[in-house]
A and B are shown apart, each in its own frame.
Chain A
Amino acid sequence: MDFMSQVVQQLINGVSLGSIYALIALGYTMVYGIIKLINFAHGDIYMVGAYIGFFAVANAGLGIFPALIISMVLTGLLGCLVERVAYKPLRHAPRISLLITAIGVSFFLEYASMLFVSPTPRTFPEIFDSSVAYHIGEFIVNGQQLLIFAITFVLTVLLTYIVQKTKIGKAMRAVSFDTETAQLMGIDANRVISATFGIGSALAAAGGVLVGVYYNSIDPLMGIMPGLKAFVAAVLGGIGSLPGAVVGGLILGVIEAFVSGFLSSTFRDAAAFAILILVLLFRPSGIFGRDAQEKV
């Protein structure tokens, strides 16, 4: 393989990894946009989504798409539940208390699932022929990579449609812009926030199931690193911005692939963080972020 083909192959690797970051980052960014909470439990919601998908496939014998939908629905409901039980009572508390609660929820999800499903990793039954691969010249694109990319694309389009064109989407944008004024206009802010958590969690669940199928292994702590990476992706793209989350996720995935492929994989995470910090220093609100100057 010559150098250029390596670059292209790494690009393919990076985009498929980045698509998953993007799916998780979308949920992060939506929640942040609406209640300014860094929802550290989001990565663990993604883990729960992966497990629901796993049980749907392994125990109920469903195919990939029904499992994906069931997992998205149930995890979405879980997201609403978490918001209702853990975050809503703190709506008017200092933001940092809310953040600590999010960390608490994260610990709870991790260790409760460790107790109930055991820390041993689970493997997805083979529901998708992993040997399907497309050789384009020297490059190899795997069937699963295409699936991940396609599902991410469809879900992003769907989400953009919901946020831009539907009533609930309009309400979300209004609440995100100014919660109190939105409430004065007759918008039920609590319902909107719940819906945001639901949708964000459903997207994370989709990411979880896809990761389960793609890497074929899930465990109770699988959400920690991807959760953090997705947050980095969201900030990189400009937190609160939907296209930002997708672009941030893809950029992060590609950076990681390139660093692993051409430098050393042990510096991969360091490079991701270094680029994040550089971007923040020169463009503090991220690539697509709105510049919000604090007024006196």
Chain B
Amino acid sequence: MNTSQKRDTVMLALGLVIFAVLYGLMETGVIGSFWKLNILIIGINIIMAASLNLINGYTGQFSLGHAGFMAVGAYVSVVLTTNFHLPFLAALLAGGAAAGALGCLIGLPTLRLSGDYLAIATLGLSEIIRIVLMNIQYVGGAAGFSGIPHLTTFPWVFFSLLATLFIIKNFVNSTHGRACIAIRENEIAAEAMGVNTTKYKVMAFTIGAAFAGVAGGLFAHVFYIITPLSFTFMQSFNYLIMVVLGGLGSITGAIAGAFVVTFISAILADWPEYRMIIYALALILLMFYRPQGLFGYMELTSLAPFKRFAKGGKDNG
């Protein structure tokens, strides 16, 4: 077993332990309903942030339309579970596939744009998706789709999250991922080195969109009703904030960002009028002191104590 596999195994084991602990605490009622729900939301937000990070952080393509893909995944999966009574897993995968396919379709023309132009184009596309959903009576139009079964449970979220992070981590560390990072660092240089930039940009965009679709499916099955208003560009901003707050181009960062943002909102729930003001100030201050985000490009594992722990004292320097 090489070190990579070894570390993966260690991490998987660790993940299972965390899962067992959290699950146990939930089942015994130590974690009450409110935090139980918030753990689900944090998990879903991590999937959103990690998948957006693949597009914005690793490939350097400024997408502001992530909520649109989430909406597609959400609507496709609720129609499949509610109206066609398909199993949840199939519905989630179909939602992810639909969002991914749309991402590919949208990515092909728009990813020719760069920087802020791409940002506004993706923002526009996500708004178009939302407006189209608002006009489809089959899914309830603007009033929303109700009667969704409550299928999203902690194990579903946790294992989807684990799968997402595992796939994204492996993608980033693969040849394809390297190509994406090369595009982020300098698109022209990457092209000169023989990287097919369009292909990799669309690939990253598609994968990111697909996971957003899965997250959308999970999100929709937490609540009894979804409305197009849950997927406005303000939501896309929220996911962008999570990614930047945690650190663009760091999976640990995406996790931390999603966690911090959701957590702040939850603990401030007792002061409703001040909640968003405090959040806004916290955001501005964090950007002052950590403009590169909490983790920057770093991962938790690149910190020295963790290295020793994860590799059993063996250092490959």
Contacts from A to B (Cβ < 8 Å):
32, 36, 38, 40, 86, 89-90, 93-94, 96-101, 103-108, 110-112, 114-115, 224, 228, 231-232, 235, 239, 266-267, 269-270, 273-274, 276-277, 280-281, 284-285, 294, 296
Contacts and interface: CB of A to CB of B under 8 A. Distances in A.
Contacts of A276: 120-121, 124
B240 interface: yes
Contacts of B125: 273, 277
Given A100-B287, A284-B113, A270 B131 contact: yes
Nearest to A86: B284
Nearest to A36: B116
A97 B117 CA distance: 18
Across the A-B interface, the 10 shortest Cβ-Cβ residue pairs? A273-B124, A93-B291, A104-B283, A108-B280, A107-B280, A97-B291, A111-B276, A270-B131, A104-B284, A101-B287
Nearest to A266: B135
A111 B275 CA distance: 9
B281 interface: yes
A224 B229 CA distance: 14
A270 B132 contact: yes
A280 B291 contact: no
B120 A111 contact: no
B188 A97 contact: no
Nearest to B120: A235
Contact of A269 (B56, B127, B245): B127
Contacts of A104: 280-281, 283-284, 287
Contacts of B114: 294
B116 A239 contact: yes
Contacts of B12: none
Q: Which among B62, B112, B288 has the greatest number of chain A C-beta atoms within 10 A? A: B288
A284 B117 contact: yes
B121 A107 contact: no
Given A104-B280, A108-B284, A281 B134 contact: no
